Structure 1
Amino acid sequence: MRRLLDQGWTVRATAGPVPPALEGVDVPATVPGSVHTDLLAAGLIPDPYLDANEALLAWIGDTDWRYATTFTWDADDARAGHEVVELVAEGLDTVATVELDGAVVARTANMHRTHRVDVTGLGVGEHTLAVTFAAPVPAAHRLSEELGPRPYTNEHPFNAIRKMACSYGWDWGPVLATSGVWRPLALVGWSTARLAGVRPLVDVRTGDDGATGLLRVHVDVVRAPGQDGSLTATAEVAGRSAAVVVPPGSTSATVELEVDDVALWWPVGYGEQPLYPVAVTLAAGDETLDRWSGDVGFRTVALDTTPDAEGTPFRLVVNGTPVFARGLNWIPDDCFLTRIPAERYRTRLTEAVDVGANLVRVWGGGIYESDDFYDACDRLGLLVWQDFLFACAAYAEEEPLRSEVEAEAREAVIRLSPHPSLVLWNGNNENIWGHQDWGWIEPLAGATWGWGYYTELLPGIVAELDGSRPYCPGSPYGMDPDVYPNDPAHGPTHLWDVWNKIDYTHYRDSDPRFVSEFGWQAPPTWATLTRAIHDAPLAPGSPGMSAHQKAAGGDLKLSRGLEPHLPEPQTFEDWHWAMSLNQARAVSLGVEHLRSLTPTCSGAIWWQLNDCWPVTSWAVVDGDGRRKPAWYALRHAFADRLVTVQPRDGGLAVVLVNDTGTDWAGEAGVRRLGFDGTDVETVALPFAVSARGAVTLPLPAGVATSGDPSRELLLAEAGGLRGWWWFAEDRDAALPAQDLTVAARAVADGYEVTVTAQALVKDLAVLADRVAPDGRVDDMLLTLLPGESATVRVAAPPGATPEALLEPLVLRSANQLVTPR
């Protein structure tokens, strides 16, 4: 029996800086939900995502909140005869006191785990249930003092409390510290025994007759008091079943099955993603006590870190095949987690697949995501790198924190173990690096900081409960305690000096083995920005814009990063386009450089895919779900086959990257030509690139050296793909005025815009969201030589007119940002 307690809830402020209008007021509440969304639904607060409203609502995180409801336990419930009745809370956010009929039955302090309370003997009649949440901001500070303060980033000591770290703000997120019952709350009745955990772990045995899938279903049980008899655990998959006896007194068993001629699960781009339903039952004699069901995919995964001449690789290997990780970092997709339904997960993760990614990294300052997230990754073929929930801070290893960490980690490993998409457990984000480089050692004065979690507790849990997936202590990490944790020659690296200190062209200064974070900022798309911010006039430093720029010195870094490339924009519209274009160019340059290092480099994970609200950030899909220009740049750079021009040995080379399963051969044509389209020097280079490989073709000096850098470019072409090299930055180049012949015509679901360049046009874009908020184009950032044409498909509602798509602020290019010479 499972009965959801999701009706009749109210929430009331009980202590803190409560506005007079809310004192003593019971507000209708939603469970699962959060206090912010309840207050929003009641019209009692403004939208915290708009303008500077975030600051106006800080009082919510300083306030205690009490959720309450009543429910009836009737005679039928009592007659069901359950030996055990439990109140099961799958997610309480965060420091909570649970009362049943006025009696305290639980105190909790971890939003990342399930809590179960024995309420056996619940009497027939009406009952009251209340959950009081201590104000989350003061709670974090109080717990920090109790544990002993330890270094952390941002405004509040999130490292002292087992709550979503970014709830307290981040360099892309607002301070909206939530309270509420954020995952289902239910009464669960059972007798004799129940399933406490099911871990269906897979392996594959290959031979001349194909692949055999090996499934080991680890079953953990909890018995009712006094029930110590024999039980039977049965597992079924692909028409096969097996059963084992759980002997009297035992609480675990393993069922083993084999599936002949199994179809392997592959990452997207490497093969299909077949899933096999698994059903598990627990029985006592002929009576079924409990059931579990889920899907598995048969595949093997390993992490190659065998030292070589260049250092220590960090290479994922799936089904024996090395994978170049074309990845994106994932943050929670909304500050209010219950607003993310399954379809939104599917939509956002499809954006990752459509951009060419094969991996998402679930970052350690967020949550262990909903099952909907991992289900979508299983079906889309997106590999999942899963951080344990530690980020950018030192963490106490003493009680009571240690027990909470262990409990949540065990629950996460068990819950997520069926998913074939999950291929890597990672101990933390930047904490090992931070301990060494961020001035923590002196203030810690010998106190614990998390090292024991990352090197003992967490790998021990993974080895005990999973064992089928690799574990890494942290990101970045040098794969050896004696190696500098952010050494690009060893393990996963973060490249943040570029954004924070130097120009993005310096991505080329590093030859890393794997990059798990690097990024460049830009504002959200125009439609998102103008929906959320209503400053008059809009300006980079206007109040609403400043409230939606969370990175320290972010606007100065944006300006510093633009200065080497483009003239200073004179209007806000030009500023918005220039910063969007500069982010797109940063992602292109960085990803193309890293992919050109194949196979020495085996991964490029951009920071980040998504945003949790409308903000200036590193995301390629903004907080309203719109694709920035950088999304299109990343799609070009993540293409299965890539033609890129790179500096090599004092000259230039064409690098051809072939991340497909078939060899690629042909002839690369390389031209140095003037901006007027006239060839100056040309060369044809035969090439052959093996599957999943790359080849470097050095260019002769006559082609690679420009006689007039301000008026010449280099174009490499192979297999219908293009790679460009610009001898001068736009600000120093003689880019002509934008000169286009354009026509737009209505087609099904939108328009086609056909552009013919009368003069060289660089990075052409149709910013359709400026015409219709839902407008979207199929391609962007096109460079056309004089006389060349391209057609862009625009998905837009009927209100968008063809004429509007041709306006100068909609039909954009780099040429518009440069004063013609």
Structure 2
Amino acid sequence: MSAKRTLHEDWTVTGDPGAPVAVTATPAAVPGEVVADLLAAGLISDPYTDGAERDLAWVGRSDWTYRTSFDHQGDWDGIDLVFDGLDTVARVSLNGTVLGETANMHRRYRFDTRDAIRQGANELEVHFTAPYTYAEAQRDRLGDRPNAYPEPGNFIRKAACDFGWDWGPNLAGAGIWRPVRLECWDTARIEEVVPRVSLEDGIGVVELEVRLKRAAETGVVLECAIGRNSASGDGHFVAEANVQVPAGSDTATVRLEVDAPERWRPHGYGRRTLYEATVAVVAGDEVLDSWERRIGFRTVELDTEPDADGRPYRLKVNGEPVWIKGVNWIPDEAMSGRIDPARIERRLRQAVAAGVNYIRVWGGGVYESEAFYRICDGLGLLVGQDFAFACAAYPEEAPFWSEVEAEARDNLARLAPHPSLVTWTGNNENLWGWHDWNWQDRLGDRTWGAGYYHDLLPKLVAEVDGTRPYWPGSPYSGTRELHPNEQAHGTVHIWDVWNELDYTHYRDWKPRFVAEFGYQAPPTWATVRRMVTDDPLTADSAAMLWHQKAQNGQAKLQRGLDAHLPPVRDFDDWLYYTQVNQARAIRLGLERFRSLQPYCTGAIVWQLNDCWPVTSWAAIDGEERLKPLWYALRDAFAERLVTFQPHGDGLNMVVVNDAAEAWNGVIGFWKCNPEGRIIGRALVQLEIDARDTAVLELEPGAIPKDGEFLVTGREDFPRAAWFTKEDKDMDWPKARCTTEVAVAEGGVAVTVHAESVLRDLCLFADRLDPDALVDKALITLLPGEHATFTVTSDAIAASPELRQALTAKPVLRAVND
């Protein structure tokens, strides 16, 4: 038998005596980290507000000691202290006896306590060495290596973004960041179970690799089973097997077969059927230990065989190609203790609501939690997990090689049950960095990580997992002989547009698969007011600039405004216009890439989420609010998409049907003058197969001339438009409309009747209630049309003054207002 109890209560944290802030036996949260503890104790200012982050550099250069006490009773063969995550360089002591030391945030740790634990009260201490102290010492020992940022994060196995990024703060602290527990057991316990799930000629095969830890030379039995999923099953097992593990043996492989299992399918491709896999260790009539996880039967293939055009990167699930509608994922909070399963589920449901079917877990963060993957399993979100390397050269010498091997083995085993996990990738941008970022001369003959990406990691993926494809890097062209960001081969990152060019240059690219591309904008109004107290508030006020981490970020935003939109008159204009520009840039890029399918097989937007309030590439800001980009993603990722695409001197209408059913119908589109008067009409009869694309070349007479524009009707797909001039040059009439406001269940309905063209109409209800939600944004209306915005907000519904404010600037905006 066994007993497991969490040790999350009554922790304190103490800092260095010479630190700028005296921290003595301050209450601490576990799981959590030290910055949040200091903030909760009132010892520091909120690092998310104004420039307070800059005053916390000392935290990452200080040692920290966490302590708690717990009571223990009873005699057991084994008594283990188990940490699911220690951040990062720690010494663990129990009653003054050192149990062990750690130097890797990305691993789980187990310590045998039998020589140190006492009956009754026990004192547990975890001492953390400052991450900068450790990393800088390793850098000095091994020699410096290139990093995209002037930080030593590549010399410690800690999330790279903890040391700051071009969207994130530097809060490189310490803490017990994942659960800790005491596990007591007799005779034998389960050390690890790795389920390898496959399909063989319609038979579901689950091969369970089981490792045991023994305290007695006693034979045990493994009772293994696969149970029906809760949605359709009756609780009966669909496969069972009992295996005798004789004394002296610590491993066993158990094969179970399920006849014609229901498959797990991605979002948009059918049901997400899950089964329960269980393993029990039994001696006589006693269950000594047990393990259970949800699994799913599905196949995954990555087609990268060269073709006449280069090398594709095509993901197939259950034999069917899936066009990847993806977003990049970073840690959802800079203070990790604030991330709970409910928050993760909110974020992932927001992704699904935007039409996303794929999450790339970026390599500068962490290997995501069980909760993250469990939720993705249930939602049908495909996940690509990077190994934890990003934008830097990493040493391969001791102790790093063995640490990387241990963390890879641990996470490959931990995440193996999850059907949502479909690919492993070796790193983020390090292969690209070696080619293009002036690394080679600076490195000389020093290691930089190639041995991990090309040798160690693919070997471990095959050995530990064996069911999922591996790709050496993002970007990567499939062979070391090619430049890693060659657009005709494999995966690419597109950053020349944001860094150097106008966003219309996305149309210059013809990629096989886009793993990163993005465009910035500030967060929502309510989040801006949370992050800065500047008065007056301007785009270049001090705190706004502190919350812009990208190199020349404000200048790049201004370049985009100058190219497309009318002159900015005040901060309200700047906020609205930059958000509109971000949304337009990403929608233009996504429509370009979707119009290239099946040549192009997917696009992953940088990025879904933020970890604090900041001007960034995110669609959902650090306070969990939807930016206009989120609504643009929902349109651009819609199952049925119509887009106008330039082709030579002409114009094509590209119609994409990503639905499981054929699309048979009629599309109407109109040619209009700047006043919105219709000066030409056309109808197109459609017959498009499921998961197919049609390209229609427009007749010369249907193509708008200078100052005119095209729009489709408002049908069961997002409205498509083509403008011959930028808004700054378009002879738009001043926006005119009438409005109606009505209290509805849970909020307010705001109906806008257009009397002129209304370009990219948005309603920013968060200006009136920070918790308000709006169901749509970026709506272009012609004269005589109307749109109804549903605002979910009890506060606005209850206030006549707030309801009236919904219909005026700066809440209700159009580009031509």
Short-chain TM bin: over 0.9
Equivalent pair of 2:190/2:210 in contact (CA under 8 Å) = yes
**Structure 1 residue 725 corresponds to structure 2 residue 722:** yes
SS at match of 2:16: strand
After TM superposition, the structure 1 stretch with the greater mean CA deviation from structure 2, 251-260 or 110-119, is 251-260
Match of 1:83 in 2: 77
Equivalent pair of 2:331/2:365 in contact (CA under 8 Å) = yes
Post-superposition Cα deviations, 1:422-451, rounded to whole Å, max 9, x if no partner, equal 001111100001111101111110211111
Match of 2:217 in 1: 227
The CA deviation at 1:260 is 2.3
Equivalent pair of 2:769/2:795 in contact (CA under 8 Å) = no
- Aligned AA for 1:168? F
The equivalences for 1:627-776 within 5 A come to 627-706=626-705, 709-710=706-707, 712-717=708-713, 720-721=716-717, 722-776=719-773
The CA deviation at 1:170 is 0.4
Equivalent pair of 1:328/1:605 in contact (CA under 8 Å) = yes
Sort the Cα spacing of 1:15 and 1:446 in 2 relative to 1 into closer, same or farther, 3 A. farther
Structure 1 Cα separation of the partners of residues 575 and 766 of structure 2: 13
Match of 2:233 in 1: none
Equivalent pair of 2:12/2:68 in contact (CA under 8 Å) = yes
Post-superposition Cα deviations, 1:119-173, rounded to whole Å, max 9, x if no partner, equal 2143324332211111122322222222321111223111110011111000000
- Aligned AA for 1:217? L
The CA deviation at 1:649 is 2.8
* Residue of structure 2 aligned with 1:798, choices 779, 795, 798: 795
SS at match of 2:803: coil
Structure 2 Cα separation of the partners of residues 806 and 166 of structure 1: 41
**Structure 1 residue 782 corresponds to structure 2 residue 776:** no
**Structure 1 residue 119 corresponds to structure 2 residue 110:** no
The CA deviation at 1:791 is 1.1
After TM superposition, the structure 1 stretch with the greater mean CA deviation from structure 2, 192-201 or 717-726, is 717-726
Structure 1 Cα separation of the partners of residues 681 and 28 of structure 2: 70
Post-superposition Cα deviations, 1:259-281, rounded to whole Å, max 9, x if no partner, equal 22321111111101111111111
The CA deviation at 1:41 is 1.5
After TM superposition, the structure 1 stretch with the greater mean CA deviation from structure 2, 307-316 or 101-110, is 101-110
Please give the TM-score of this superposition, normalised by the length of structure 1.
Answer: 0.95
Post-superposition Cα deviations, 1:747-800, rounded to whole Å, max 9, x if no partner, equal 111111111111111100111111111111111111111111111111112345
Equivalent pair of 1:15/1:63 in contact (CA under 8 Å) = no
Match of 1:236 in 2: 226
Post-superposition Cα deviations, 1:17-38, rounded to whole Å, max 9, x if no partner, equal 332xx16x22112222211111
Post-superposition Cα deviations, 1:575-598, rounded to whole Å, max 9, x if no partner, equal 111101100101110111111111
SS at match of 2:612: coil
The CA deviation at 1:15 is 4.9
Structure 2 Cα separation of the partners of residues 388 and 15 of structure 1: 37
Please give the TM-score of this superposition, normalised by the length of structure 2.
Answer: 0.96
The CA deviation at 1:718 is 8.6
**Structure 1 residue 176 corresponds to structure 2 residue 166:** no
Post-superposition Cα deviations, 1:171-199, rounded to whole Å, max 9, x if no partner, equal 00000012111112222222332211112
The CA deviation at 1:235 is 3.0
SS at match of 1:507: helix
The CA deviation at 1:72 is 2.9
The CA deviation at 1:285 is 3.9
Match of 2:349 in 1: 350
SS at match of 2:20: coil
- Aligned AA for 2:99? V
SS at match of 1:170: coil
SS at match of 1:174: coil
Equivalent pair of 1:140/1:156 in contact (CA under 8 Å) = no
Match of 1:819 in 2: none
The CA deviation at 1:719 is 5.4
Structure 1 Cα separation of the partners of residues 403 and 186 of structure 2: 28
Structure 2 Cα separation of the partners of residues 324 and 531 of structure 1: 38
The CA deviation at 1:691 is 0.9
Equivalent pair of 2:168/2:611 in contact (CA under 8 Å) = yes
Sort the Cα spacing of 1:371 and 1:252 in 2 relative to 1 into closer, same or farther, 3 A. same
Sequence identity percentage: 50
Q: What runs of 5+ residues in structure 1 fail to find an aligned partner?
A: 817-821
Post-superposition Cα deviations, 1:280-317, rounded to whole Å, max 9, x if no partner, equal 11223433221001101111111111111111111110
The equivalences for 1:159-238 within 5 A come to 159-206=154-201, 211-224=202-215, 227=217, 229=219, 231-238=221-228
Structure 2 Cα separation of the partners of residues 570 and 725 of structure 1: 27
Match of 1:103 in 2: 97
**For this pair of structures, how many residues does the alignment match?**
800
Post-superposition Cα deviations, 1:544-603, rounded to whole Å, max 9, x if no partner, equal 111111111111111112211013312011111110110010111011111111101111
Structure 2 Cα separation of the partners of residues 103 and 509 of structure 1: 63
Structure 2 Cα separation of the partners of residues 125 and 637 of structure 1: 61
Structure 2 Cα separation of the partners of residues 331 and 683 of structure 1: 45
Question: Which runs of 4 or more aligned residues in structure 1 lie more than 6 Å from their structure 2 counterparts after TM superposition?
Answer: none
Match of 2:232 in 1: none
Structure 2 Cα separation of the partners of residues 545 and 138 of structure 1: 31
* Residue of structure 1 aligned with 2:132, choices 129, 137, 141: 137
User: What is the root-mean-square deviation in Å for CA atoms of aligned residues?
Assistant: 1.6
The CA deviation at 1:812 is 0.5
The equivalences for 1:276-291 within 5 A come to 276-291=275-290
Structure 1 Cα separation of the partners of residues 467 and 257 of structure 2: 16
Structure 1 Cα separation of the partners of residues 307 and 687 of structure 2: 26
The CA deviation at 1:717 is 4.4
Structure 2 Cα separation of the partners of residues 674 and 661 of structure 1: 37
- Aligned AA for 1:648? H
* Residue of structure 1 aligned with 2:86, choices 92, 116, 121: 92
Structure 1 Cα separation of the partners of residues 307 and 787 of structure 2: 46
The CA deviation at 1:640 is 0.4
SS at match of 2:550: coil
The equivalences for 1:459-608 within 5 A come to 459-608=458-607
After TM superposition, the structure 1 stretch with the greater mean CA deviation from structure 2, 712-721 or 518-527, is 712-721
Q: What runs of 5+ residues in structure 2 fail to find an aligned partner?
A: 229-236
Structure 1 Cα separation of the partners of residues 141 and 290 of structure 2: 42
Structure 2 Cα separation of the partners of residues 679 and 521 of structure 1: 34
After TM superposition, the structure 1 stretch with the greater mean CA deviation from structure 2, 385-394 or 140-149, is 140-149
Equivalent pair of 2:334/2:611 in contact (CA under 8 Å) = yes
Structure 2 Cα separation of the partners of residues 670 and 577 of structure 1: 28
Match of 1:402 in 2: 401
The CA deviation at 1:685 is 3.0
SS at match of 1:732: coil
SS at match of 2:36: helix
Equivalent pair of 1:358/1:381 in contact (CA under 8 Å) = yes
After TM superposition, the structure 1 stretch with the greater mean CA deviation from structure 2, 755-764 or 276-285, is 276-285
- Aligned AA for 1:141? E
The CA deviation at 1:720 is 3.8
Post-superposition Cα deviations, 1:346-404, rounded to whole Å, max 9, x if no partner, equal 10000000000001010001111111101110111100011110100111111101111
Post-superposition Cα deviations, 1:183-222, rounded to whole Å, max 9, x if no partner, equal 122222223322111122222245xxxx432222221222
